[in-house]
Structure 1
């Protein structure tokens, strides 16, 4: 496990897991949201995101968390391990509401500079629809990968078990 891509719905805990894995495995962690969102929630272009990821995946080791379906293939082709947090919709909605409360008026450490935590209807609906609209395509992509270890984790308990195994 030297090149790890973490994917899943908003609110599943991708960034938290990335930090935890980074500490356990002593690997650098890259949060795509921190690169994609510029101050005031201004996105970078798809081309910029691709270039940035090309630079990251050239490195010897990394953990990258984030979905960004338009550039997911780059990460999947370069990764030796993929962790798909495929939690229930309710669990993910809970996660986004919890972090909205936790980081009210603040910018999360895994987010772009001056992107204060917010929860709007568009993002809420994206998370609510993720299992039906996004997860099937992710599962298809994962089925079509070769020579890669895939952890398809369906509950936080499964994730905790994986972390405990790696600590041991």
Structure 2
């Protein structure tokens, strides 16, 4: 399982209200939420993000409220993955629950720049920056996490025969 895309870079402490403003929480439809991704920070971003793009951020990405709408909005944009120095723990769990791959890799998050072309090999545990030629090791996703991502979320994974006990 691989992902290759162009990086959109953010700083530290990107909270869930920045990711998806509270006024849009009346729906959990990713097709609707995608249009409001980060709109209070950059109103043009939702229109510029392309399927497969990779989000890279600093420390404490997804802090704030525990709403699942934030990772749903990100997944709705078609972003392939979020790489950050660190994630708020509830965001971390919510992201995997809906099948959004996220990677905690401080070295990569600090070194990769906005606009870089990055390739991620989730099984091997590598992040390769095609722009700079740097490679960053990261723990590979366990098989059950790969299953959750492949099936689009925990509910779909269990419905397809994956074991909840693996999680």
What range describes the TM-score normalised by the shorter chain of this pair? 0.3 to 0.5
Which protein is richer in helix relative to its size?
1
TM-score (norm 1): 0.34
Q: Which has the higher contact order (CA 8 A, sep 6+)?
A: 1
